[in-house]
């Protein structure tokens, strides 16, 4: 009886550890990490005539990196606050967003200001 009780206690402890470790919450991607610390970098994929994700929400102080996965593209803020050179496949462009706000952008070759065609938005909020 004592052996059975010991084995049941060990089994209960193992199950508690397994359930606790698998139930750990994961930090939301591209928002905050740990104890509400802003991520230092978030990524937008530049693909076949679109930005993925089209809308990205980040905390102030986050650097957004656009990674071109194919074709000839650019990243240009609708308000002119940032602009990349022409990006070829494999090229990257980064911009740090320090202030809260909504930043619309587009590809100068395949999109237009105002969200038409190849366009996206970065939302910066605390």
* The pLDDT value given to residue 11: 45
Is residue 60 one of the residues assigned to a domain?
yes
The pTM for the full model equals 0.70
pLDDT score at 48: 85
Distances (CA, A) of 55 to 8, 13, 117, 122: 51, 44, 14, 6
Q: Would you give per-residue pLDDT tens digits along the chain (126 residues)?
A: 666 555 444 545 544 444 334 333 333 444 444 445 556 899 999 998 999 999 999 999 999 999 999 999 999 999 999 999 999 999 999 999 999 999 999 999 999 999 999 999 999 998
Phi first, then psi: what are they for 16, rounded to 5°?
-60, -45
- Tell me, yes or no, whether 74 lies in a domain: yes
Q: Does residue 65 lie within any of the structural domains?
A: yes
The pLDDT assigned to 3 comes to 62
Determine, yes or no, domain membership for 95: yes
Q: Given this model, what pLDDT does residue 6 score?
A: 52
In a domain, 106, yes or no: yes
pLDDT at 10: 53
| Number of independent structural domains in the chain | 1
Rounded Cα distance between 26 and 75, Å, is 30
pLDDT of residue 21: 40
Domain of residue 36, CATH code: 2.60.40.420
| Any domain includes 105 | yes
Query: Is residue 90 in some structural domain?
Result: yes
Q: Are 52 and 82 in contact (CB under 8 A)?
A: no
Which residues span the domain enclosing 77? 32-124
Does residue 10 sit within a domain?
no
Q: Give one DSSP letter per residue of 54-120, joined into a string.
A: SEEEE-TTEEEEEEE-SSSB--EETTSS-B--PBPTT-EEEEEE-S-EEEEEEEEEEEETTTEEEEE
What pLDDT, on a 0 to 100 scale, did the predictor assign at position 124? Answer: 98
């Amino acid at each position: 009886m004592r052996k059975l009780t010991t084995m049941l206690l060990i089994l209960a402890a193992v199950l508690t550890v397994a359930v606790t470790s698998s139930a750990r919450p994961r930090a939301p991607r591209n928002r905050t990490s740990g104890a509400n610390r802003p991520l230092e970098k978030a990524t937008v994929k530049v693909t076949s005539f679109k930005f993925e994700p089209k809308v990205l929400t980040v905390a102030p102080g986050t650097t957004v990196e656009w990674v071109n996965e194919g074709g000839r593209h650019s990243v240009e803020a609708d308000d002119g606050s940032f602009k990349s050179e022409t990006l070829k496949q494999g090229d990257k462009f980064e911009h740090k967003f320090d202030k809260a706000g909504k930043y619309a952008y587009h590809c100068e070759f395949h999109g237009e200001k105002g969200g038409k065609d190849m366009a996206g938005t970065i939302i910066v909020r605390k």
